[in-house]
Amino acid sequence: MKRTKIKDLLKTTPTGQTVKVQGWVRTFRNSQFIAINDGSTILNLQAVAELNSLEEATIKRITTGACLSVVGELIPSPAKGQAVEVKVKELEILGDSDAEKFPLQPKKHSLEFLREIAHLRARTNTISAVMRVRHAMAFAVHKFYNDKGFYYIHTPVITGSDAEGAGDMFRVTTLDINNPPRDEQGKIDHKQDFFGRETNLTVSGQLEGETYALALGEIYTFGPTFRAENSNTSRHLAEFWMIEPEMAFYDINDNMQLAQDFLQYLAKYALENCKEDLEFLDKRAADEEAAKPQDQRNELGLIDRLKFVVENDFQRLSYTEAIDILKNSNPNKKKKFQYLVEEWGVDLQSEHERYLVEKHFKKPVILYNYPKNIKAFYMRQNEDGKTVAAMDVLFPGIGEIIGGSQREERYDNLVQRVKELGLPEKELWWYLDLRKFGSAPHSGFGLGFERLIQFVTGMTNIRDVIPFPRFPGNAEF
């Protein structure tokens, strides 16, 4: 017999039909009631064995974590909260689980503990719900861009460029690290390395993405990126996924509109397609919020935050306007901000971004025209000589979720900026070439996928929204 997923069985009208279900035991009560979960839904299916119908040896093997195959009759359930259950006819144990040693007992476990057993944590309600939402959001990303006529481009994971000019990169080499070859100056001779030059894991697919936008019109990348930043916060990973659309003939306003349309589409898709998982995560987030001091709590619940994004037009304002609002705000005047806003030109912190979204405007915010000194070299310089056509999208509970800009399409301006920042012109020759041969106005942005999943699931630590988190001191599993 072919198995039926629990997700489908729970929607089936019971007429006494014989079904086959396979999954893992969550709980086993009174030698009769087995809660089985197969990962297709957060909900368990109850399998009921008649008393004394199972051998004692079999009963002892039905433990939390064991894997079962059950054939039985699908019947209406008298139990509260479930429409159907399976009356067991045949039961086979596919995989035993030692009850004494299995680390996931039917009780609440801390997320810190679950990170230590990342190979098993997907069997918990919380992580399985997050991963189903993650899948739905990945699918929605591709659907959104495909339906808009964008092309999906795979940009390289190994690259010789540093898109951000940040320098926090993982090196890629095949040289003997204990005895690397050296040149006449005593420096490591990268000409003898595999690629014949210094290479690293990519920090962004943006620069390579631009080359294809200036040929295909509208493209997007969606792939892994790496930052060797020694940061142990709840917002940083060493390996994460980025979505980076790049569009020819888009100015900063077109870019802001696409970012808004994209985020509203994703939030709406989650609400429509992840109902049960979001309801569970909403309750979980509410319990977590209740444990916080009153002044640190989110005013909106998880599902309400998603509706907040879908139902509100995003407020657009310049960085300069935002600075004026923040300087004159009560938290700034009363010195309640950790980082006081005293002058134009400062880089905004998460607390400032959240104030604008949650307290001042009470809607998502898009800031644009940032000081050029705090932004990357490739952003288009405005005529005032002080700002660039950059934009950030700010969300409740999280702050910045998207960063982007109109790209500098003028060759002379880009070369000048590269020189100002002391970037290696030789290594960027191909990027500069784009401005020599049929340059065009173009824009793009980046959305950290895990930051998005944090927002959609309400998880407070970014390490809990990626299957196997990589961070300083940890590359386990």
Task: Kindly state whether residue 189 falls inside one of the protein's structural domains.
Answer: no
432 shares a domain with 378: yes
The two three-digit tokens of residue 157, written as one number: 């994971």
74 shares a domain with 154: no
Beta bridge partners of 365: 315, 394
Beta bridge partners of 70: 21, 91
Task: Kindly state whether residue 91 falls inside one of the protein's structural domains.
Answer: yes
Judged against a pLDDT cut of 90, whether residue 427 lies above it is answered with no
- Pairing of the two strands 239-248 and 442-448: antiparallel
261 shares a domain with 211: yes
Greater pLDDT, 295 or 308 = 308
How far apart CA 64 and CA 28 sit, in angstroms, is 7
141 shares a domain with 88: no
Query: Looking at 50-59, 244-253, 293-302, which range is the least confident one?
Result: 293-302
pTM, entire model: 0.94
Residue 404: the pLDDT is 98
Beta strands in 249-379 (DSSP E): 315-318, 365-371
**Last residue of a domain, which of 104, 135, 152?**
104
Residue 163: the pLDDT is 63
Average pLDDT over residues 435-443: 97
Average pLDDT over residues 114-123: 95
Residue 45: the pLDDT is 97
- Looking at the 3D structure of the chain, how many domains does it have? 2
427 shares a domain with 327: yes
150 shares a domain with 50: no
Structural domain range at position 127: 123-168+203-464
Judged against a pLDDT cut of 60, whether residue 166 lies above it is answered with no
Answer for the pair 161, 199: CB distance below 8 angstroms, yes or no.
Answer: no
pLDDT in tens, 185-223: 999 999 999 999 999 999 999 999 999 999 999 999 999
413 shares a domain with 295: yes
70 shares a domain with 135: no
Average pLDDT over residues 427-455: 96
Distances (CA, A) of 452 to 96, 448, 457: 37, 6, 9
Secondary element (H or E) of residue 129: helix 125-147
Model confidence band, residue 349 (pLDDT cutoffs 50, 70, 90): very high
Average pLDDT over residues 62-80: 95
405 shares a domain with 367: yes
Beta bridge partners of 222: 243
Domain with residue 230: its CATH number is 3.30.930.10
Task: Kindly state whether residue 179 falls inside one of the protein's structural domains.
Answer: no
pLDDT in tens, 252-304: 999 999 999 999 999 999 999 999 999 999 999 999 888 888 877 777 899 99
- Phi (first) and psi of residue 245, to 5 degrees: -80, 145
Task: Kindly state whether residue 220 falls inside one of the protein's structural domains.
Answer: yes
Report the mean per-residue pLDDT for the chain.
94
444 shares a domain with 329: yes
% of the chain surpassing 70 pLDDT: 99
Domain with residue 64: its CATH number is 2.40.50.140
